[in-house]
Amino acid sequence: MSYHTVDSLKQLIEIIFNKPKKKMDICHVYPVKGKDCIGLLHPLNLVYGDSDHNKKNGNKAFGGAGYYIDKSELKAKWRVTVKMKDKTILRLLEKFLGSVLTDYVRKYPVKISGRIKLIDEIIKLDKSGKYTRDSLTEIPSIGLSAIKAELCGVTMNGFYFPPKKNRSRVLIYLEELSRIAKDAEGEWAKNCKFTLRILLAGAAALSKTPDQPELLDIYKAHGKKAMRYKQTTLRNASEYSKSKAFLMFQAYDCLHGKEVDKGMLKGTLHKYTRLIKDNSSFSIASISLKGCSEYSPNET
């Protein structure tokens, strides 16, 4: 939790609570279990990334990307263990962050969540003392609702939770590249800015397929940066899955600080896409994209 400001703390909380549901992880750019350093819980060391890519990447670190400190700087008094209770950890955080946390709470008042209210209500209703705050924090919300209902003498059934809408991973990668390009420094930021342009061009081409209408959101989210690629389309609709997988793999690597081969990226983008002439019309709405082969970074 080093190097935090009020703004970075707010951003960190947003990253954690807005984690995408669709095959995406919150990834550490510089690994927590690094050889000589330890990756920090900081917005500039966290990015959303494909779950499969994250597993393959493991504890690899590239260049100077991410936020980290040398292990020699760690102090025993701030050590957090698995056996520590939430209250103890929160007290440590309060002491460590100091005025940053105080200013954050003043600027962004913390509202009591429905889950905390539910736990408070159960403790008040539980005259036998069967439930403790620590034990209740381990129980899912659905379980807490059932416990409250039992204490009130009510039987609960027929729950329905509407599924969260899955967002396109391409859109998520675009947001992450844009964030790091803006907030980071040095070669890492420059590479993310370049890869953002490549991914915007690829997204513009993919948006013309019947399977990816949500990618049209790039024009609203990225404005003029995206509009310059509006005439880009796929050369071959059968390359849809392969080109999409290639773009996402390159975005993941760039976000983790891996060296960017700009010539290769531009060449591969040109291989998969072309420009539509102003006086021509083109549609692939009638072409089925099912069964297209996926791109593999190990493919020859």
CB-side neighbour CA atoms (13 Å) of 85:
9
Note the pTM of the prediction, 2 decimals: 0.76
Among 106, 121, 153, which residue terminates a domain?
106
Q: Give the integer Cα–Cα distance in Å for 4 and 41.
A: 9
Cβ neighbors of 274 (< 8 A, separation 6 or more) are 232, 233, 234, 235
pLDDT (0 to 100) of residue 287: 35
pLDDT in tens, 262-275: 999 999 999 999 99
156 and 173 both lie in a single domain: no
| Mean pLDDT on 37-55 | 95
Residues 269, 173 within the same domain: yes
**Cα dihedral 79, 71, 49, 245 sign:** negative
Neighbours of 95 (CB within 10 A): 11
Buried b (16+ CB within 10 A) or exposed e, 199-235: bbbbbbbbbbbeebeebebbbeebeeebeebeebbbe
**Average of per-residue pLDDT across 89-113:** 84
The total number of residues written for the chain in this structure: 300
Same domain, 125 and 96: no
Domain check: are 130 and 154 in the same one?
Answer: yes
63 and 151 fall within a common domain: no
Say if 242 falls within a structural domain: yes
Total count of domains within the chain: 3
Q: Do 185 and 232 fall into the same domain?
A: yes
pLDDT of 86 strictly over 50:
yes
Decide: 200 and 229 in contact? Cβ < 8 Å: yes
Residue numbers of the domain that contains 185? 169-275
Calpha distance 20→165 (Å, rounded): 9
pLDDT, averaged across the chain: 85
| 92 belongs to a structural domain | yes
Within a domain: 293? no
Residues 15 and 41 in one domain: yes
Structure-token match 């959101």, residue found: 217
Last residue of a domain, one of 124, 148, 166: 166
Looking at the structure, do residues 235 and 248 belong to the same domain, yes or no? yes
Nearest to 133 by CA among 123, 148, 145, 147: 123
Please state, in angstroms and rounded to a whole number, the distance separating the CA atoms of residues 271 and 265: 10
152 shares its domain with 204: no
pLDDT of res. 226: 96
CB-CB contact of 195 with 260 (8 Å): yes
Residue 159 lies in a domain: yes
Is residue 128 a part of any domain in this protein? yes
Which residues touch 32 (CB under 8 Å, ≥6 apart)? 38, 39
Q: By percentage, how much of the chain surpasses pLDDT 90?
A: 52
Q: What is the pLDDT of residues 229-255, one digit of tens each?
A: 999 999 999 999 999 999 999 999 999
Residues 98 and 126 grouped into a single domain: no
- Within a domain: residue 222? yes
Q: Say yes or no: 173 and 271 in one domain.
A: yes
Q: What is the pLDDT of residues 192-231, one digit of tens each?
A: 999 999 999 999 999 998 877 889 999 999 999 999 999 9
Domain annotation covers residue 133? yes
The verdict on 265 and 209 lying in the same domain is yes
- The predicted pLDDT at position 297 comes to 45
Answer whether residue 285 is part of any domain: no
List CB contacts of 72: < 8 A, sequence separation 6 or more: none
pLDDT in tens, 122-181: 999 998 888 888 888 877 776 788 788 888 876 555 443 344 457 899 999 999 999 999
